[in-house]
Structure 1
């Protein structure tokens, strides 16, 4: 991908995080904001594994060497994201919050409903099924780019003095989402066919993705709050508490999230318009986890 005409190389960073001191409510006294953000950990391990599987199916269709390099970098980053968020699920389980009953539904969504073959024998040609799933990934990546840019700018989170390890995870991940924000879109445009159906299929991908993500996120936040052992059922997910967290800058505004959809529907749209690559790269240069990974890679190279 490129910004201002210069190609930017996308590469995975083999980061690691130590969760031993991270409390269950990693934003102090803010269980709703904590668990709304924690839904990321419920969705991303299965979702990003699925991204990699679908992109592997599409690799033989790529005829552009530069795009192929970007796609492989994207796959490496997404595989690392999946692993690191899965570790958080283990940490939540150690603190008495079992996410299995929820994540089994997420696994079913990606592994069965959006698996290699259409579910229940729906008669969709293999090439068209692949293109549809690539359109869904491009739509999801629209939201991850918006969220990634938000978390890099979220001064409200800094003021709340959250757990530094969790904040670094979120900002490292968010920065990489901004880094590769256009790859899934470019992959879809390249593999989605040259004719008229390419744009309607892109619109369909978003029309399916936006309501499903909204539903899964609300359900996930409600699940986490309901099963949080420290709350013992005293707190439920509510729009009132969600909006209170938004006003404090702990969550993105509804406008920030909702406006991502009409932008995406413009025929002339390209995700390079989302966020700031400069801001993302600057964070990755200061991220404790990314710096440690770079140091480990450097030591390995000279040993």
Structure 2
């Protein structure tokens, strides 16, 4: 009898399932979807504008080293990571279209991030991967705080909240993949420290210019009360962003690894809430990819 070849592991087999979702964004969704505040909504729109080109950069930098990945489990994790990021890009492109239809001028943010990434694309491949690992560290920290804060009420309008909760869950599910591939490529602490400086020097100004543009075009710069309230919503005590910024320096530690911060219970909690038996997103789940 011919022995059957074992089935190749998929992303879903290793806890990183690319979920084909088709979010139904309500026509009734208000313009100011983050706490009914212009400033905070501009921040949310900025993140969404940055995601599609940014996640394309992540996928390319990781898959460039696919030939080094021989472990079946990590190979499946890379496949799951790639699938999740591709779907994230698609859904945020749809959200960006909705923002644009509501009058947000996202052309400058899009140009700003693409210009910044064009600079990073000129770096050696392993340095690009180190930059990806750093930015994935940022998104993992942001995802963790988003699930905790928005899950306990939060400020994002209900019409949009589930998209961000889904994205946050999947960022935690694949948070270690780019770093594991960096380890195979010859992880050097000097390159990780340089990645911090490069991303701060290149992506940081792009984000600042794009945010100021959105604040200007949305009229928030001329509303001091809105600016102050928005700043409190983003940077105030107990908010997500300060905790994210405080966690960023962990990346330069000699013993850094994304999985040192255990988010397993948080991930399972939201997996159950969104995709469990009575999951709130089951009706928007189309099919699963390998």
Same fold by TM-score greater than 0.5: yes
Matches within 5 A, 1:9-24: 9-19=15-25, 20-24=27-31
Say yes or no: does 1:192 pair with 2:204.
no
8 A contact 2:23–2:284 mirrored in 1:
no
- Determine the structure 2 residue equivalent to 1:103: 110
TM-score for the superposition, normalised by structure 2: 0.83
Say yes or no: does 1:113 pair with 2:138.
no
- Determine the structure 2 residue equivalent to 1:280: 267
| Match of residue 163, structure 1, among 139, 143, 157 | 157
Matches within 5 A, 1:25-64: 25-64=32-71
- Which whole-Å CA distance do the structure 2 matches of 1:241 and 1:265 have between them? 33
Give the superposition deviation at 1:280: 2.0
DSSP 3-state at the match of 1:14: strand
- Determine the structure 2 residue equivalent to 1:153: 148
- Determine the structure 2 residue equivalent to 1:4: none
Say yes or no: does 1:75 pair with 2:82.
yes
Give the superposition deviation at 1:171: 1.0
8 A contact 1:61–1:191 mirrored in 2:
yes
8 A contact 1:142–1:264 mirrored in 2:
yes
- Which whole-Å CA distance do the structure 2 matches of 1:236 and 1:169 have between them? 30
8 A contact 1:145–1:274 mirrored in 2:
no
Deviation by residue 1:97-142 (Cα, 9 ceiling, x = unmatched)? 12112212222332x3233xx3xxxxx7xxxx11111000000011
- Determine the structure 2 residue equivalent to 1:90: 97
DSSP 3-state at the match of 2:240: coil
Give the superposition deviation at 1:82: 0.8
8 A contact 1:226–1:235 mirrored in 2:
no
Deviation by residue 1:20-73 (Cα, 9 ceiling, x = unmatched)? 222220134322222222221111011111212222322122232221111111
CA 1:42–1:236: 2 relative to 1, 3 Å = farther
8 A contact 1:32–1:237 mirrored in 2:
no
Give the superposition deviation at 1:218: 3.1
- Determine the structure 1 residue equivalent to 2:240: 252
Gaps of at least 5 residues in structure 1 are 1-6, 119-123
DSSP 3-state at the match of 2:222: coil
Deviates more, 1:44-53 or 1:29-38: 29-38
Gaps of at least 5 residues in structure 2 are 1-12
8 A contact 2:220–2:226 mirrored in 1:
no
8 A contact 1:139–1:206 mirrored in 2:
yes
Q: Cα RMSD (Å) of the superposition?
A: 2.8
- Which whole-Å CA distance do the structure 2 matches of 1:258 and 1:28 have between them? 21
- Which whole-Å CA distance do the structure 2 matches of 1:53 and 1:266 have between them? 25
